[in-house]
Amino acid sequence: MDFSDFIVTNLNQFWSLTGFANVTWSHVAMLLVGLFFIWLAIKKDFEPMLLVPIGFGILIGNIPFDSTAGLEIGIYEEGSVLNILYNGVSAGWYPPLIFLGIGAMTDFSALIANPKLMLVGAAAQFGIFGAYMVALALGFMPDQAGAIAIIGGADGPTAIFLTSKLAPNLLGAIAVSAYSYMALVPVIQPPIMRLFTTKKERLIKMKPARAVSQNEKIIFPIVGFLLTCFVVPSGLPLLGMLFFGNLLRECGKTTRLAKTASNALTDIVTILLGMTVGASTQASEFLTVDTLKIFALGFMAFVIASTSGVLFVKLFNLILPKSKKLNPLIGNAGVSAVPMAARISNNLGLEYDPSNYLLMHAMGPNVAGVIGSAVAAGVLLGFLA
Amino acid sequence: MKRSIILLTLIAVVGCASMSAQGRRGLRLNEVMVVNDSNYVDDYGKRGAWIELFNSTFGPLEISKVFLTNDPQNPKMYPVPLGDVNTRIPKRQHILFWADGKPTYGTFHTNFTLDPNRENWIGVYDTDGLTLIDSVTVPVMESNRSFARIDDGVGAWEVRDGVSEGKHITPSSANRIKDTNGKVDMFHANDSHGFSLTIMAMAIVFTALLVLCVCFWIISRIGAKKLSDKKLKSQGVDPTSIKRAERPQGDSGEEIAAIVMALHEHLNAHDNEATILTINKVRRAYSPWSSKIYSLREIPRR
């Protein structure tokens, strides 16, 4: 082989390894999706903490390369760096760590002061099971339908946790769908809230919540954990970490641990979770008809969940005395999406009465929604795993 | 001193509990063949009696130093040797021992044999040689038949002939072969629309949160009563002398915040503040390994 042939052969070989030689339209489409997510996060301020890592993860996961070259760089190639990071998603241990952080940063006072708001959080879980029935009708198997339906819980970590157990092959689509719709909560929920409430109902002023003692705040995570996990042991990883994080926060003796759990740890896991979930959307796995169905079902699950939360409050008002009536605008907050959904209740309430602050009232169903969706995930896991 | 004793006791209790949890209690005798004429062969190409063990836990199980025996009077008859990586059974997996009386053949060949002419008692003892983990009495069987649990690791045993439907002889593999998820199949067949699961699941979700709700309603009643008692006591009123309906309601957080704000605004009041001065050294000591931090650009602030 002469010198020029040698150069040409090697350059050809190098060219065959580049992204330009391996690119397909599906890669380009996914790269555009990733760029769109980053644009949404930075320019439109839609959940930037989630969408920036996911968006960039999509870019990472969709750089075209020759998968037969044995480079061991793809997220699905065992032993690659991305694959090792992805283990937290595929084995389901990132979500409980996120739940630890959520617990450590959540104030359950609103819920403790007004425990009946927990039922609103339960009612909103109809979104999950409504979507489950439609997913079955679309031809998904029960385990896949359960994984898709959990998008209606509006809780990204829960969705990832359950999907990693029930339908790992749908993980990318479900995770991206769950986080996308969580970011779009401000767009999806207000029309539903307006549609199902009258102007008179939107003006209902709720009694300010009473002050909650520290003892009650300490008892809550312990009793909450014991009761919910005795009913649904399969929710243990999520509920255990959620209530543990909350106990770290409320006991007053572990402030350092609570701070680490709610700040540094949550940030680290969010970065890794978002990036690897994004990277798991490799075009070959992601661009399928099923993905479109999952996005449609996810949207529907959000709509059903928000609707059932609002309607449940209206129904609940029928049996409540006049002085204790609830403003149905807090019903949407029963889907988790903490604290975005509660903020929407507050903003919409202020739109109709500038002195009607619903934020703290909406935080009750909002955090109940977190517990409710974790319980629902535990139930689905118990029935279908 | 007292506190240290309590702490040590707690650590000891937790330690004992975890040691017990880490024991080999999940090890199960799973299938036994006594007369093997035309069945499974060992690594030497020979046939013999075999005993299958099953790790019924969902974690790997190290079985070295566990004892296998066919004599209840001699529980330490065959200790599983140390130092063989194959004695670590992965979760829900099987391992086979040849009861051929030839321990020099390797780790998985016991020093005892099984008698085809009488019932054989087989036991597995924990590493202490005292704790019986599992045992079975194998009946007299025809050749090439096995005595196996119907389902791996649990429940009843049956004689398998290897020919009849569902009576397969399965050395080193699952006694009941599952090719699909039974639960999913059941829901697919009996609940194709998802109504049943929806009703059951929503009932469970509501029950869980309702129980929590009732529990905290009771706790909040107690909390509210305590707050009300405290308030009355601070006003010099005996709480027991006031009827329930006449008791003052607890202050809301908003009211408390308003009172605190008013105090702050009008009286320039302050809480007691800790007068501890803490001086922290903030400048990093120079190190060639950390010096690069000075050369990195700061993240731009938007």
Q: What pLDDT, on the 0 to 100 scale, is given for residue A316? A: 92
Q: Do B212 and A383 touch (CB under 8 A)?
A: no
Tell me the domain boundaries of chain A.
Answer: 16-63+78-384
Of A109, A118, A129, the CB nearest to B209: A118
Q: What is the mean pLDDT of chain B?
A: 82
Residue in chain B closest to A109 (alpha carbons) equals B253
Distance from CA of A140 to the nearest CA of B (A): 10
Given a cut of 80, whether residue B140 has pLDDT beyond it is yes
B296: confidence class by pLDDT, cuts 50, 70, 90: low
Q: Residue B215: its chain A contacts at CB < 8 A?
A: 115, 223, 227
Give the lowest-confidence range in A173-187, A232-246, B110-124, B138-152. A173-187
Q: What is the mean pLDDT of chain A?
A: 89
A305: confidence class by pLDDT, cuts 50, 70, 90: very high
Residue B147 and residue B138 in contact, taking contact as beta carbons nearer than 8 Å: yes
Of B188, B250, B254, the CB nearest to A141: B188
Q: What pLDDT, on the 0 to 100 scale, is given for residue B113? A: 92
> How many Å from the N-terminal Cα to the C-terminal Cα in chain B?
56
Of B208, B215, B250, the CB nearest to A211: B250
Q: Do B202 and A209 touch (CB under 8 A)?
A: no
Residue range A190-203: mean pLDDT, rounded: 93
For the question of an ipTM over 0.90, the answer is no
Q: What pLDDT, on the 0 to 100 scale, is given for residue B301? A: 64
Q: What pLDDT, on the 0 to 100 scale, is given for residue B19? A: 45
Residue range A277-293: mean pLDDT, rounded: 85
Residue A274 and residue A55 in contact, taking contact as beta carbons nearer than 8 Å: no
Given a cut of 60, whether residue B18 has pLDDT beyond it is no
Q: What pLDDT, on the 0 to 100 scale, is given for residue A2? A: 84
Quick count: other Cβ atoms within 10 Å of Cβ A29? 14
> Model pTM greater than 0.90?
no
Tell whether A333 lies on the interface with B, counting CB pairs under 8 A. Answer: no
> Using the 8-state DSSP alphabet, how is residue A265 labeled?
I
Distance from CA of B95 to the nearest CA of A (A): 26
Residue range A193-222: mean pLDDT, rounded: 89
CB pairs under 8 A between A and B: 143
Distance of alpha carbon A124 from alpha carbon A367, whole angstroms: 12
**Tens digit of each residue's pLDDT (9 = 90 or more) over A342-368:** 889 999 999 999 989 898 889 889 889
Helix spans in A204-358 (H): 214-231, 236-250, 255-260, 266-279, 283-286, 289-317, 340-352
Of B188, B209, B255, the CB nearest to A372: B209
User: B272 or A332: whose pLDDT is higher?
Assistant: A332
Q: What pLDDT, on the 0 to 100 scale, is given for residue B224? A: 76
**Tens digit of each residue's pLDDT (9 = 90 or more) over A145-183:** 999 999 988 888 889 889 988 998 888 889 888 888 888
Half-sphere exposure of residue B76: CA atoms within 13 angstroms, side-chain side: 5
Q: Do B208 and A119 touch (CB under 8 A)?
A: no
Of B206, B208, B214, the CB nearest to A228: B208
Fold type of domain A16-63+78-384: Na+/H+ antiporter like fold (1.20.1530)
The two three-digit tokens of residue A309, written as one number = 């939360």
Q: What pLDDT, on the 0 to 100 scale, is given for residue B285? A: 58
> Using the 8-state DSSP alphabet, how is residue B296 labeled?
S
Residue A116 and residue A181 in contact, taking contact as beta carbons nearer than 8 Å: no
Q: What pLDDT, on the 0 to 100 scale, is given for residue B162? A: 84
Distance from CA of B104 to the nearest CA of A (A): 38
Q: What pLDDT, on the 0 to 100 scale, is given for residue A212? A: 82
Q: What pLDDT, on the 0 to 100 scale, is given for residue A75? A: 86
Query: Among residues A234, A269, A232, A227, which one has the least CA distance to residue A104?
Result: A269
Interface of B with A in 234-253 (CB under 8 A): 249-253
Given a cut of 50, whether residue B21 has pLDDT beyond it is no
Tell whether A42 lies on the interface with B, counting CB pairs under 8 A. Answer: no
DSSP letters for B237-270: --GGGS-GGGSPPPPBHHHHHHHHHHHHHHH---
DSSP letters for B46-104: ----EEEEEE-SSS-EE-TT-EEES-TT-TTSEEPPSS-GGGEEPTT-EEEEE-BS-GG
Q: What pLDDT, on the 0 to 100 scale, is given for residue B20? A: 45
Distance of alpha carbon A330 from alpha carbon A202, whole angstroms: 10
Residue A131 and residue A300 in contact, taking contact as beta carbons nearer than 8 Å: yes
* For helices A289-317 and A171-183, angle between their N-to-C axes, nearest 10 degrees: 50
Tell whether A380 lies on the interface with B, counting CB pairs under 8 A. Answer: yes
What single letter denotes the amino acid at residue A104?
A: A
User: A179 or A273: whose pLDDT is higher?
Assistant: A273
Q: Do A112 and B197 touch (CB under 8 A)?
A: no
**Tens digit of each residue's pLDDT (9 = 90 or more) over B224-277:** 787 778 878 887 887 777 776 676 665 666 677 788 888 877 877 666 666 677
The structural domains of chain B, ordered by start, are 24-178 (2.60.40.1260), 195-267 (no CATH)
Residue A142 and residue B184 in contact, taking contact as beta carbons nearer than 8 Å: yes
Residue in chain B closest to A215 (alpha carbons) equals B223
Percentage of chain A exceeding pLDDT 90: 52
B3: confidence class by pLDDT, cuts 50, 70, 90: low
User: A35 or B14: whose pLDDT is higher?
Assistant: A35
> Using the 8-state DSSP alphabet, how is residue B286 labeled?
P
Residue range A55-79: mean pLDDT, rounded: 86
User: B226 or A140: whose pLDDT is higher?
Assistant: A140
Q: Do B183 and A228 touch (CB under 8 A)?
A: no
Q: Do A223 and B200 touch (CB under 8 A)?
A: no
Output b/e per residue, B86-114; b: 16+ Cβ within 10 A. ebebeeebbbbbbbbebbebebbbbebbb
Distance of alpha carbon A286 from alpha carbon A58, whole angstroms: 10
User: B165 or A316: whose pLDDT is higher?
Assistant: A316
Distance of alpha carbon A13 from alpha carbon A16, whole angstroms: 5
Interface of B with A in 101-120 (CB under 8 A): none
Distance from CA of B164 to the nearest CA of A (A): 31
B62 φ, ψ (degrees, to nearest 5): -90, 120
